[in-house]
Amino acid sequence: MKWVNRKRKRGAGALIAFVLVFSLFAGGSGFLQSVTLDTEKHLIYQRVSADDLLTAFSRDKTQAKTKYEGKYLCVLGRTGALLSSGSGFTLNGVEKKLSEVLYCTGAYPDYSFAAGDLVLVCGRARFTAGDPLQFQIDIAGVRKTTETRVGTEEFCFADSDRVVSKGSMNKRSLGKGNAAIYIPDSWKAVEGGIEELELGTADGFQYRLSDTKKSTAGNTEQLFVFYLDMYEYVRPQDWEKTWKIEKAVVENIVPNPDIFFLEWFIPTESNTYGTNFHYYETAYQGYSLEFVFAQDGEDGFVCFLYLYRAKPAFLDDILYTLRFLEL
């Protein structure tokens, strides 16, 4: 397929200037065996209190099921009893013991908690079938804590003490307000508009992560986030050809793509946090390039393009940006 830009009438070259960013890396390419930015491999959990979950569950079980089922949660509460199967424990509220309990289940190696210990349990919420309905957390991680409360819209990884508040991030709108990303304060100094920097015609931003203090010597990391308006760039007869649109974007940006981007252009796919992500990856002369696409209904796509060399130093920050993506 070819690009059609009805507003600007730039034809097939509508995004082609974007290629200039990577002209230094053109040449031999190679196939990566895994996707660094895969959101299902690096899950981020929303912090909540067991008190809030159990209060909502006691008040209206059906409504609680609709709201929380399948969500990735990190629950603060007090341990109750070990389950008879030995594969988990119950979790009570921090402040008071309610009539309902959470059932935390899974083959986790260490349940050596005393009753009433404060713990953080990270996992996916689900509800058992039948009567009575049970609220369960499939354990991905659990650890003791001294915390007694959680804040609003706080998030974390299961294996990390770092807590990120969405409210502390900086919002950036894309696609005339159709989408939005959230970036940390440290990125503001290395941010530039793609069109303003004359890197291409896409509506989006470049982040020169290597220029921040966090970067390590010899490493190169950049992130590009841009919005592709279906009505502006894609012919109506191609709107349902999702993989062909994504393939055209990649081939427009990466010169001389290898066979991975040709006939067998099949993405790694995940549906995390209610967003359907498609991932593609390739390599150029020691540099890794990863693409993440998220479709904004019938209006367009948000694309994340991550370029790095050596071990990524900003992976966690980028994963949080993906987690907070609004469509």
- Phi, psi angle pair for 93, to nearest 5°: -70, 160
pLDDT of 132 above 90: no
Pair (94, 152) in one structural domain: yes
Asked whether residue 301 falls in the same domain as residue 175, the answer is yes
Q: Looking at residues 161-186, what average pLDDT do you find?
A: 95
Residues 119-129 have pLDDT tens digits of 999 999 999 87
Please identify which residue in the block is written with the tokens 């907070």.
324
The tens digit of pLDDT for each residue in 5-34 reads 434 333 334 343 343 344 334 333 444 446
Q: Please give the model's pTM, rounded to 2 decimal places.
A: 0.86
Same domain, 226 and 307: yes
- The predicted-structure confidence for 253-269, as pLDDT tens digits, reads as follows 776 655 344 334 556 67
Find which of 157-166, 229-238, 239-248, 302-311 is predicted with most confidence, using mean pLDDT. Answer: 157-166
Does residue 147 surpass a pLDDT of 80?
Answer: yes
Amino acid at 249: V
Same domain, 128 and 139: yes
What's the mean pLDDT when you consider all of the chain? 81
1 falls within a domain: no
Residue 59 lies in a domain: yes
Give the N- to C-terminal CA distance of the chain in Å, as an integer: 25
Look at the block and give the residue holding tokens 């890396």: 25
3-state helix, strand, coil in the chain (%, to 5): 25, 35, 40
* Domain-embedded: residue 6: no
245 and 284 fall within a common domain: yes
38 and 50 share one domain: no
Q: Single out the residue in 102, 126, 157 at which a domain terminates.
A: 157
Same domain? For 133 and 187 the reply is no
Do 202 and 105 belong together in one domain? no
Looking at the fold, whether 89 and 195 belong to one and the same domain comes out as: no
- 181 found inside a domain: yes
pLDDT in tens, 274-296: 888 988 887 766 778 889 999 88
Query: Would 123 be classed as within a structural domain?
Result: yes
Residue 255's pLDDT is 63
Question: Is 94 inside any structural domain?
Answer: yes
What pLDDT does residue 3 have? 39
Same domain, 283 and 309: yes
Would you state the pLDDT for residue 4?
39
CATH of the domain at 152: 2.40.50.140
Note the pLDDT tens digit of each residue in 191-210.
999 989 888 888 999 999 98
pLDDT at residue number 111: 64
Domain that holds residue 242: 11-42+168-323
Is 296 among the domain residues?
yes
* Domain termination residue (choose one: 127, 157, 187): 157
Kindly state whether residues 229 and 274 are assigned to the same domain.
Answer: yes
Q: Looking at residue 214, what is its pLDDT?
A: 65
8 Å CB contact between 58 and 85: no
pLDDT at residue 293, as a whole number: 92
CATH number at residue 305: 3.40.1000
Whether the per-residue pLDDT at 186 is higher than 70: the answer is yes
- Same domain membership, residue 249 and residue 237: yes
Give the residue from 117, 138, 157 where a domain finishes: 157
* DSSP β-bridge partners for residue 77: 119
Number of domains in the chain: 2
